[in-house]
Amino acid sequence: MSEARHLLSINDLGAEGIDEVLRLADTFVEVGRRPIPRVPALRGKTVVLSFFEDSTRTRMSFEAAAKRLSADVMTFAASASSLNKGESLLDTVRNIEAMGVDAFVVRHACAGVPTQVAGWLAGASVINAGDGAHEHPTQALLDCFTLSRERAGRLGVSPARPRVLEGLQVAIVGDVRHSRVARSDVAAFTALGAAVTLVAPPTLLPPSLEGWPVEVSHDLSSVLVKCDVVYLLRIQAERMREQYLPTLREYTATYGLTAGRARLLSPGALVMHPGPVCRGVELAAEVADSPASVITAQVANGIAVRMAVLYMLLGSGTALAAGGANDG
Ligand code: ASP
């Protein structure tokens, strides 16, 4: 990754690259705790947030990450842009790059757009912030980071130790078919040694799971009793063109992490969710707010992880050394 220009997929990183991001993110957690949580690592660089699809967490998290690294941040609002006058995405992107942009953070409802944008740019970097049902690599990185830190806390080992997810049993539950988070998480968790079981109704699994290093179950209760982590997914209604479920109530009754079902989890098990949570559908409110839930830790860790990604793609590698990091 340190040599790479873009982050489009978890597969761009592999286990070593993921490890590298996690180690660097540890440093940036410390920066976030300072009275002035800012380092000059990306001073003079410009990051443009180009979100063509709704977002709360990811957009704000990238904005906070870029600002904490002292980069200039520009926001591209697709709905108020010349795309509405018929300008092509190609021209839009090339014009923005001509303004001296160093990185595009791209979210789009169509799979493959960040890769296409990367191919059009002369020198700027692209970070995939979620493309259709394809990938959401920084979500997977922050999920690995959160798991490695939580696990390290429990085992009393250094969070920087590589492959700290070795042996972990992770259940990913819900709308895997339409989830970019599931695709990136499966790749990242298994690269770090975790075992993943997908739990979903047959209609919400991808048509083919060939090449997915996972087990599959349709019986949530039997998986909950033996997993270390249960990762809930939202039903991605915005990507559904046909009916995949009889009713949401039936879905919750069979695949929701209700308070009753959560009691099947072993004492140290963790509950995760990428957000936004639809309380009472895939996850009961009391479980989302219980001590087992690390959902807000995921969000908090997201800033440090995105700082690490931006720094690795854009940084010179020197600004953190020799006290430079203390420059507010
Ligand atoms: N925030 C995540 C995403 O953008 C998950 C979700 O929307 O359900 O994919």
Domain identity same for 279 and 311: no
Tally of CB atoms within 10 A around 129: 28
pLDDT by position in tens, the chain (length 328) = 556 899 999 999 999 999 999 999 999 999 999 999 999 999 999 999 999 998 999 999 999 999 999 999 999 988 888 888 899 999 999 999 999 999 999 999 999 999 999 999 999 999 999 999 999 999 999 999 999 998 877 766 666 565 679 889 999 999 999 999 999 999 999 999 999 999 999 999 999 999 999 999 999 999 999 999 999 999 999 999 889 998 999 999 999 999 999 999 999 999 999 999 999 999 999 999 999 999 999 999 999 999 999 999 999 754 343 333 333 3
CA 199 vs CA 180, 221, 309, 326: distances in Å: 16, 10, 30, 46
Three-state DSSP at 48 gives strand
Q: What's residue 150's pLDDT?
A: 87
Domain range enclosing 167: 137-298
Residue 292 φ/ψ, nearest 5 degrees: -70, -20
**What is the DSSP-derived secondary structure letter of residue 6?**
-
Residue 192 φ/ψ, nearest 5 degrees: -90, 10
Q: How many Å lie between the centroid of ligand 1 and the Cα of residue 98? A: 31
Sign of the Cα torsion 50, 39, 12, 59 reads negative
Ligand 1 is surrounded, with C-beta below 6 A, by 130, 136, 180-181, 234, 274-275
The whole-angstrom separation of Cα 145 and Cα 199 is 23
**What is the DSSP-derived secondary structure letter of residue 238?**
G
Domain identity same for 141 and 282: yes
Q: What's residue 241's pLDDT?
A: 87
Q: What's residue 2's pLDDT?
A: 52
Domain identity same for 17 and 152: no
Q: Confirm whether 169 is domain-assigned.
A: yes
**Number of structural domains, the chain?**
2
Q: What's residue 159's pLDDT?
A: 63
Q: Confirm whether 3 is domain-assigned.
A: no
Domain identity same for 316 and 291: no
Domain identity same for 103 and 147: no
What tokens appear for 6 in the block?
A: 């873009």
Q: What's residue 23's pLDDT?
A: 92
Q: Which of 290, 238, 235, 299 is nearest to 263 (CA)?
A: 290
Question: Which residue has its alpha carbon closest to ligand 1 atom 8?
Answer: 234
The predicted model scores a pTM of 0.94
Residue 108 φ/ψ, nearest 5 degrees: -150, 150
Domain identity same for 21 and 126: yes
Q: Confirm whether 98 is domain-assigned.
A: yes
Domain identity same for 186 and 259: yes
CATH of the domain at 251: 3.40.50.1370
Question: Which of ligand 1's atoms lies nearest the C-alpha of 180?
Answer: 9
Among 54, 107, 131, 136, which residue has the most ligand 1 atoms within 8 Å of its CB, making it the best to mutate? 136
Domain identity same for 119 and 190: no
Domain identity same for 223 and 120: no
What tokens appear for 284 in the block?
A: 């009961």
Q: What's residue 79's pLDDT?
A: 84
